[in-house]
Amino acid sequence: MEFERDTMIGYETVAEVSLCQEETLESIVPDACPDILRIVDVCGQATLSGKQAREGAAQVSGVVRAVILYQPEGGGGLRRMEASLPFTCQAEAPGLTERGAVLACPRLRGAEARALNPRKVLLRVDLVVDVTACQPVERPVCSGVTAPEENGVCQKQYRGEHYLLCAVQEKPFTFSDQIRLPTGSGEAPILLAARVQPECTESKLIGSKLIFKGMAEISLLLQEAEGGLTSCCESMPFSQVIETAGAGEEGDCQVTVEVASFRCEQTPGDGREVSVDLELLAQAQVRGLRPVTLLQDLYSTSNLMEVDRENQALCRLSEQSVRPQAVRELLETGELVRSVVDARLALGQVRQSREGKELALTVDAWLTVMYLDENELVQCVRRSIPVSCRLDCAEGVRCSCFCGCPGEVFAAPAVGGVEVRFTVEFHCLATETAAVPAVTAARMGEARSAGEGTRPSVVLRMPSPGEELWDIAKAHGTTMEQILQANELEEEVLPAGRMLLIPSAR
C-alpha cells in the first residue's frame, strides 16, 4: 500500500544537567606586589571558552579569572593579584552525536583563597555548569493512505499539535565601550575588581530572524587615593539578530548570553575612564506548535489486512511562566557593620522535588558582602540562602527551569549584621508527553469472504461498554457511514442500551 508520509523535523533534548566541581590553584605573589598580611576577598568571573558535541557526551571548557584582594604587610590600602584557572567538564548525553548542539552556562558560585605564606596563595573556586545537549531528529510518520477508495480502505486519523524544539542556534558577538568614573577632586581611584553579568531582556521572531536585546551589567570595585572603597555599576545595552530558518513567528524564544572574554582596564593617562571589551555568546532555543496528522488505524471492507504500529511521542505545553521570588535576609556578622562596600550574588543549580501534586523548585543563592567594621577594617561575610517556589505539576509532567537575578542586590547595615534584599526569577517550562498509536506500514491480505462461507447481509448486535463505532465497523468489515444510515443516527456517539443493525459492505 502507498501512504502519504510526513516528517517531523526538530531537536530532542537528550541531556539537561547541572555539573558542580571545584578547581584549585597555587599561585605565587608577583615580585612587584608586597607580601600578604590578610586576604580579604576573591572576585571571580567564569568565562565560556568552548563546547563540543561527541558521541554520547557533551564537553564544555572555560576559564575562571579571579582577582585576590588582600591587605599587605606594612599597611596601606588593598592590593590585588590575578589568577586564571582553566576548567573542563563532561556530561553524559545518550543519543548525542557530532551533529548535535551543546548549550552551556558556567557560573562561579563562590571563590576563596588562603595564604600558605606571605608569597604563596592557595585559590579554590566552586563552579556550576548548566549543560543542555540537543540532537537533531527527523521522525517520519504516516498521515494517511493514498487513494483509500481503492479496495474500500477506511482510515482513522489523529489530528493534533506537537510542541517541539524546532531551532537551536548561537551567535558570538563583541562590543567595546567606555565608562566614565564618578568625578571627584584629587587623584583618580584605582580599579580593584570588575565583573560583568549579561542578560537578554527581550526577544522576538520576525520571519526567519530572531531579534534579541539585552544589557551587560558592569560592576566595578574602586579604591580612592586616600584608601576608601566604593563600588559603581554601569549598564551597556546590546542588540543582535540570529537566523532561525523554519522556526515561524509564533515560536517561543529562550535566549541566554554567556561571557567568552572580558577585559576591563583604566585608560592610560586618564584614570577616570575605564575601557571595556566584551566577547559574548548568545545561545537560543526556539519552540513552537506544529500541526500533526497521524494515521492511527485502517482496514479494508474487501480484504483482510496486516498492520504494523508503533507509538509516536507527541509533546504538549502545560505551562510556561516566570515566577519571581522576593528574598529578604539578615547576614549575621557578630560585629558592628559601619558601612557596606559591595554585594554580589551567584545562583547554584536548580533542584526539583515532588510533593504530591506540586513540584518544589529550589536554588541556592550564594551571597558575598564586603563591609567596613567598627575599626574601619574591610571584612567579608558569605552565606548560601535557599530560595524556593512551587509549581502545580501533575505526575508525568516534565519541568525545565533556569533562574536569574534581575536588578541589583540591596545590602545595608542592620542590627546584628547586614540586611540583604534581592529577587530570584524562576523561568519554568512544563511539558507533557503522550504516546499516540500510529500506523507505520500495512499489507493487503486475502479477500474477506475467502474461507468464511456466506456472510449475512445484516447483523443485529448490542454494543459492548466502551466500544466505539469505529471498532464495530472494523470488526464487521463495513463502514461507519453504513451503520449510521442503517440505524438512522446522525452522530458517531452510540445510543446506550440499543441494538444496532450492522449491514455488510458489498
Amino acid at 495: P
Residues 132-153 pLDDT 10s: 999 999 999 999 999 888 888 9
Quickly tell me which residue has 452522530 as its cell: 491
**Cα 421 from Cα 424, distance rounded (Å):** 10
The per-residue pLDDT of the chain, averaged, comes to 92
**Cα 365 from Cα 236, distance rounded (Å):** 25
Instruction: State residue 295's pLDDT score.
Output: 96
pLDDT, average across residues 248-273: 89
Q: Domain segments of the chain: what residues?
A: 3-137+164-288+317-433, 454-506
Instruction: State residue 199's pLDDT score.
Output: 93
Residues 341-353 pLDDT 10s: 999 999 999 999 9
With a cut of 80, say whether residue 504 has pLDDT above it: no
Please report which confidence band the pLDDT of residue 234 belongs to, taking 50, 70 and 90 as the band edges: very high
Lowest mean pLDDT among 103-117, 259-273, 336-350: 259-273
- Residues pairing with 361 in the sheet: 352, 389
Instruction: State residue 452's pLDDT score.
Output: 52
The answer to whether 378 touches 372, Cβ cutoff 8 Å, is yes
The answer to whether 9 touches 148, Cβ cutoff 8 Å, is no
**Cα 252 from Cα 400, distance rounded (Å):** 14
Please report which confidence band the pLDDT of residue 455 belongs to, taking 50, 70 and 90 as the band edges: low
Distances 275 to 177, 272, 314, 359, 500 between C-alpha atoms, Å? 6, 10, 51, 45, 85
- Nearest to 407, CA basis, from 488, 335, 326: 326
Residues 56-85 pLDDT 10s: 999 999 999 999 999 999 888 899 999 999
Instruction: State residue 94's pLDDT score.
Output: 96
pLDDT, average across residues 245-260: 85
With a cut of 80, say whether residue 449 has pLDDT above it: no
* pTM: predicted TM-score of the whole model, two decimal places: 0.89
- Residues pairing with 314 in the sheet: 434
pLDDT, average across residues 184-202: 89
Cα torsion angle, 456, 458, 459, 463, sign: positive
Quickly tell me which residue has 492511527 as its cell: 296
**Cα 116 from Cα 28, distance rounded (Å):** 10
- Nearest to 34, CA basis, from 153, 119, 148, 123: 119
Amino acid at 206: I
High-pLDDT (> 90) share of the chain, %: 76
Quickly tell me which residue has 517520519 as its cell: 140
- Residues pairing with 141 in the sheet: 6
pLDDT, average across residues 172-195: 88
Cα angle value 392/395/400 (rounded, 5°)? 65
Lowest mean pLDDT among 186-195, 432-441, 485-494: 485-494
With a cut of 80, say whether residue 505 has pLDDT above it: no
Cα torsion angle, 181, 184, 189, 193, sign: negative
pLDDT, average across residues 449-476: 78
Residues 414-442 pLDDT 10s: 999 999 999 999 999 999 999 999 999 99
Instruction: State residue 246's pLDDT score.
Output: 66
Q: Which CATH class is domain 454-506?
A: alpha beta
The answer to whether 391 touches 399, Cβ cutoff 8 Å, is yes
Instruction: State residue 496's pLDDT score.
Output: 78
Instruction: State residue 447's pLDDT score.
Output: 86
pLDDT, average across residues 500-504: 86
Cα angle value 65/104/21 (rounded, 5°)? 60
Residues 368-402 pLDDT 10s: 999 999 999 999 999 999 999 999 988 889 999 99
Instruction: State residue 338's pLDDT score.
Output: 95
Please report which confidence band the pLDDT of residue 205 belongs to, taking 50, 70 and 90 as the band edges: very high
Q: Are strands 153-180 and 337-355 parallel, antiparallel or unpaired?
A: unpaired
Which residues have a Cβ under 8 Å from the Cβ of 345 and sit 6 or more positions away? Answer: 365, 366, 367, 368, 405, 409, 422
